[in-house]
Every structure is written in structure tokens, then in C-alpha cells.
Structure 1
Amino acid sequence: MTLPKIELHLHLEGAAPPAFVRGLATEKKIDISGIFDDRGNYAYTDFWHFLKVYEAATSVLTTPADYARLTRAVLAESAASGVIYSECFLSPDFCGGRDVGAWREYLHAIREAAEEAERQDGITLRGIVTPIRHFGPEKARETALCAAETAGDWLVGFGLAGDEKVGRPKDFAWSFDCAREAGLRLTCHAGEWGGPDSVRDAVRDLRVERIGHGVRAIEDPALVDELAEAGIVLEVCPGSNVALKLYPNFRAHPIEKLMERGVKVTVSTDDPPFFHTTMAREYDALAEAFGWDDGVFRQIADTSIRAAFCMEETRDKILKRLEKAHA
């Protein structure tokens, strides 16, 4: 589908093409052959194995220059799919071991590559720092301090990713308070492997304005009404949910029911090569499953850019591009 697209839920390392990771591993003489299948795709059995494969793939990214190359590769893929604005999750855990000085170097390299992509491919990128939930609350505090030190017009948000079944949202309240005080806007993965209560806990205890995934909220009608009334935006990744067998197919996915109940939803790819998807494929699969026309996707794009964490100047620029494309 050729409509311009806005993506709010993309893990930078998780978007690394397998060929890119294999090439980098070969350059560095690192053997990670066990994470690929015989066709060269990432291979995993379930979500928890996926996390291990993800971290193994990330292990070949060891310098700011690696992340600059990664950023260009990922944004080229996104732009080819019609994405004009994207927000990606970045983890100081992987970029300098949560050392603020090292993190600044990684962030500088990522941002330079993103600015080059904007000039060449017309795609705008902004960053959201995410601690890794299963690394624990103490490491999350260090990550929050990295985020607070580098918050600004490019690094605009703070979230929480990783294994939802480890710990509780309130364990990370200090980190979210730190990020909030630094002016960062807040999201949190919930309602994917954790049930509806994980969504309610994240909204209540971390005071986020967006939820990563959040689709299991559909199991609690009262929660759905609460999300709609509060205007909480869900960063929905249907292809990811289907690939990880949260739902058997797109038709069974609750995205349309959530929209019908007044919840603000957006569409993203999460970790696209892991789930054999792109933003164009997400749009095509949703159109086939629900019969959505261009008008629905325009509404989703509008909801997405209005929910983006970027500065108003950037939002206005992207809104004008959408209006021109939709004219």
C-alpha cells in the first residue's frame, strides 16, 4: 500500500536485517550461525527464545559505527515501505553498557545516520530510550539517567521493553519519574504477554500516555472503556502478535474491536525481519482481513503522528506531508 505511514513501535536492533547481522558477524569473526534457519532467517521457537536470539543478534553491534550502519539499513527498509516518520526504541544497555559518556557517542552516531537518511530518503526518526525489563529495576535506573542526560529535540521518549512477566511496572517507577522530570514522554510495553492487568498497572503506576502492544486489554471491557476515555494510545503490532502466536491470524486480531470501542490505535512492525513483515505488509494484511479502505489508514496515520513524541515543529511538518498526500 503506497499511503505514507507513521511508525511508533520499532526496536532498532530488532529491525536489523539478517544479512546485515550475518555480514557484521563475519567481519568480526563472531559465530552466531545458530540463530538463523537454513534460509538465512532468524529462527526461534517462542517469545522467550526470541528474546535470546534477539540479544545474540545484538551482540555483534559493538561500536557507534556499527549502530550508524544499522540505522541507515533500517531506515532504508522503512522508507521503502512508505514510512515518513518513525520512532525507534534504543537501549543504553546495548549502546555503551549504560555508561553516559559511551551512550552519548552511540547516540551521536545514530542521530547522524538518521539525519543522513532524512536528507536522502525523506524519513524522519526520533528516539525512545528503553530499559530492558528482565535486566531489573537497578539497571533501569542507570538507563533512565542516560536518557535524562540526553533528552531533547531528538531523544524524545522513555519506555520499558523486554519480558513482561518479570517484575511489576511499579518496580520501575523511579526510572519513569526521572525520565518525566527530564521532559521525556512515556510509553511502556504491556498487554502482550501480560494480561489486561499489566496494562492497567502500567497506566496507573507509571503514568504513561502510550502502551506498547496493549491488545490484551480487549479481554477486560471496563479497561477498554478506561483507555478510550483517557485517550491512551496503543502501539499495535498485528504481524508481531500473529507471528508469536498470540492470535492465530490477522482476522482474529482485536485491533478493529479496539477501534470500534473508541481506543486510539496505531500500527507498527515491532521487529520486522523477525516476524517477516514490513509496514506495507501490515497495511495489506489489515486491508485484506478487515476490508479497510484508504480512509481508515489515513485515520491511523493521523492518530499516529498526533500521538508521536516529537516536538510540535516536527509534527506540523509531518502533518503537512500527510495532508498533501491525502489531498
Structure 2
Amino acid sequence: METPIAARSLDRLPKAHLHLHFTGSMRHPTLVELAGEHGIHLPQALATDWPPKLRATDERGWFRFQRLYDIARSVLRRPEDIRRLLREAAEDEREAGTGWLEIQVDPSGYAALFDGLTATLELILDAARAAERDTGVGIGVMVAANRTRHPLDARALARLARQYAGRGVVSFGLNNDERRGRAREFEAAFRIARRAGLISAPHGGELQGPRSIRECLDELEADRVGHGVRVVEDPHLVERVATQGVTLEICPTSNVALGVFEQMEHVPLRRLFDSGVPIALGTDDPLLFGPRLVEQYRIAREVFGFSDPELAELARMSIRASGAPESLKKEMLAGVDSWLAEEPGAAPAG
């Protein structure tokens, strides 16, 4: 894809990144380096044949995707590994023009190494604060439950997230394979999180259709839905999402890599935008998919024909839907207006 000559620089457009998984944010060279330090053998798909060829629309494909993710997570063994991951993620976001990063993590995946759930979350929050100071990128943490585990585990995570609401935790999520845990089973956990003032942001409408999204809205009172792209299968639900102002965290590269859509042109980004649905572009897991956030905006521009005013509105949508402090939101929104006021071609293309 080629960037138009007279285009505003996408890496200068202030934006919020709301759909980025913790392990999946790791740089590939960092994965390889840490694996070597810890004596962990990486399969070819994570080493020499990176990024891996993936497809997760069937159980076997999802298992392979999850296995690769788990291997990647296993290289994070020391507190300094956690700190490095967050610092480098923030550096990458700064290069993309991101003013606010909301990174999602299930502390359960690291608890055995770092003295339990509470100590793990405190380590992550401390690392996030350090990365924020070093880079100037605001960072909020989404505590995310795993829908393949028992709903009681999700309640424990919700209570943990509640303890740190206002102290770095800004949202509560639900991830993993939709086919193995319906959203409605986690209503109690999300009720705990909502009462603590946390944003409700479960995954839905990726591997399953409109029913998945409807349960996120009806049972979990979602403010945002991770992915949500299969909402297009129900026009009435599209209208409802637009009317209620529920933001969909759309990750074009991920959707194609995992086989949700066969080609990039099939991702319903333009259709949903034109229908008035709020959208926050995200990357999901760039460690496994490759492209990072600026590339998602470039896809919107070059594949779906988004004009610069429309790209600016995408950025505004991401900022408004974020858990960033109001003062930072105002600053970033003003930055979007300034970006749009620039003459096209005034800066190197992003």
C-alpha cells in the first residue's frame, strides 16, 4: 500500500489505543531475546517464520493460536521482563502518536511467578506508571477475565480490579474463545466492576455472531465491545449499537489473520462507520499479527477510502471511549483538531 503524497502524517494524529493485549504487545526481537535468556525453545512460527500463519475460526486453529500465545507469555519470568514489555509498548505507542494506551491483562496468567494475583497486578501497575513517566504516554490497565475459566474466577478478578479502580485500573474485560463461555455467565463479575466505576469492555462478535454482542449489551452493559465486527449480520443490532453509542474496538489486521474475514476489503469498517457506530481502531496482538496501530489507520485510509476528516473522527472516537482522565482527553481532542488544521504533506507521511 502506498500513502498518498499529499496526506497528513498518521503518526502525528493523536489517538487512543484501546485494544491491545499484554503479552501480544511484545516486540518480536524482545520475544526472541528473552527466550534465549531463559532457555525457552520457540517454534518456527514464533522465531524464523514470524509472523505466524494463523486461522482461528475452528477449534484446532484457535488451539494453535492460543498455544503460540502461551509460549510467548512464558518468556516473561522476571519483574524486569514485565517492566521492559510495558516500556517498549509505550515507546511504540508514542511513535504511533498514541496519547493513551489501555492495555488488557489477566493477572492469573502470571500470578504463580509473581506471588499471587494482587502482587502481579501491583507489579504491572508500577511498571505502567514507570513507562508513562519515561514516554509521556498515558497508560490505563484493563483487568480481563478469561471466558474459558469458571465465572467465579472472573468475580475474583473483578473484586481485585475494584480495589485498584482510580489507581491505574480503568476497565474490566472478558476475552478468549467466545465459543467456550457465553457473556451472560459473567454478569456477576461485570456488575462488581461497573459498581466500582470501571468501563465494561468484553470481547464479543468476533468468532460468534450477533447473539454474542447482544449478551454483552444486555447482560454486561458493555460500554465498549472488543471486535464486535459481526454485528453487521443484524442490521437492527447495528442501529442499536449506534444509538446507544457503544464503541466497537475493531482490529482489521487481526480479523483477517484469524480468518474472521477472508480479505481486508471484507472487514465492515466503512459500513459500520457510515452507520454511525463509534469505532476505536486497535491491533489486538501485534506480536502474532505484525502490524501496529498506525498501520490500522493506514488501512482505513488506503483500503476503505477514509478521508483525513474521517480519520480524525476515528481518533476522536477512540479518545472519547477511553478511560483517560478528562484533562488528557481534552488535550488529545485539541491535538486532533490541530492535526486536521495542518496542510496535507506538511510533515513526513506516517
Per-residue deviation, 1:44: 4.3
Whole-Å Cα distance in 1 between the matches of residues 261 and 253 of structure 2? 10
SS at match of 1:178: helix
Which residue of structure 1 aligns with residue 72 of structure 2? 57
The C-alpha deviation readout for 1:229-264, integer Å capped at 9, x for no partner, is 111111111111011121122221111111111111
Which residue of structure 1 aligns with residue 183 of structure 2? 169
Structure 1 stretch displaced more, 293-302 or 135-144: 135-144
Per-residue deviation, 1:98: 11
Q: TM-score, normalised by structure 1?
A: 0.92
Q: Is the 8 A contact 2:141 2:168 kept in 1?
A: yes
Whole-Å Cα distance in 1 between the matches of residues 117 and 299 of structure 2? 38
Which residue of structure 2 aligns with residue 269 of structure 1? 283
The C-alpha deviation readout for 1:5-26, integer Å capped at 9, x for no partner, is 3211110111112221222222
Measured at CA, do residues 195 and 98 of structure 1 come closer, stay the same or move farther in structure 2, by a change above 3 Å? farther
Q: Percent identity?
A: 34
SS at match of 1:212: strand
Measured at CA, do residues 234 and 87 of structure 1 come closer, stay the same or move farther in structure 2, by a change above 3 Å? same
Which residue of structure 1 aligns with residue 296 of structure 2? 282
How many residue pairs get aligned? The number is 326
Q: 2:131 aligns with which of 110, 113, 117?
A: 117
The C-alpha deviation readout for 1:31-56, integer Å capped at 9, x for no partner, is 23355253444454535121221112
Q: Structure 2 regions of 5+ residues with no counterpart?
A: 1-9, 342-350
Whole-Å Cα distance in 1 between the matches of residues 88 and 49 of structure 2? 20
Which residue of structure 2 aligns with residue 155 of structure 1? 169
Which residue of structure 1 aligns with residue 91 of structure 2? 76
1:23 aligns with 2:33: yes
Runs of 4 or more off by more than 6 Å in structure 1?
none
Whole-Å Cα distance in 2 between the matches of residues 43 and 157 of structure 1? 31
Measured at CA, do residues 63 and 178 of structure 1 come closer, stay the same or move farther in structure 2, by a change above 3 Å? farther
Whole-Å Cα distance in 2 between the matches of residues 203 and 254 of structure 1? 20
Q: Is the 8 A contact 2:107 2:121 kept in 1?
A: no
Q: Is the 8 A contact 1:231 1:264 kept in 2?
A: yes
Which residue of structure 2 aligns with residue 311 of structure 1? 325
Whole-Å Cα distance in 1 between the matches of residues 128 and 95 of structure 2? 15
Per-residue deviation, 1:63: 3.5
SS at match of 1:79: helix
Amino acid at match of 2:20: L
Whole-Å Cα distance in 1 between the matches of residues 171 and 112 of structure 2? 19
Amino acid at match of 2:34: L
Structure 1 stretch displaced more, 297-306 or 2-11: 2-11
Per-residue deviation, 1:97: 4.8
Measured at CA, do residues 132 and 266 of structure 1 come closer, stay the same or move farther in structure 2, by a change above 3 Å? same
Measured at CA, do residues 97 and 217 of structure 1 come closer, stay the same or move farther in structure 2, by a change above 3 Å? farther
Per-residue deviation, 1:83: 1.8
Report 1 or 2 for greater relative contact order, CA contacts < 8 Å, sequence distance ≥ 6. Answer: 2
Per-residue deviation, 1:300: 0.7
Per-residue deviation, 1:197: 0.8
Q: Structure 1 regions of 5+ residues with no counterpart?
A: none
Amino acid at match of 1:94: G
Structure 1 stretch displaced more, 252-261 or 19-28: 19-28
The C-alpha deviation readout for 1:180-204, integer Å capped at 9, x for no partner, is 1222111110000011110001110
SS at match of 1:165: helix
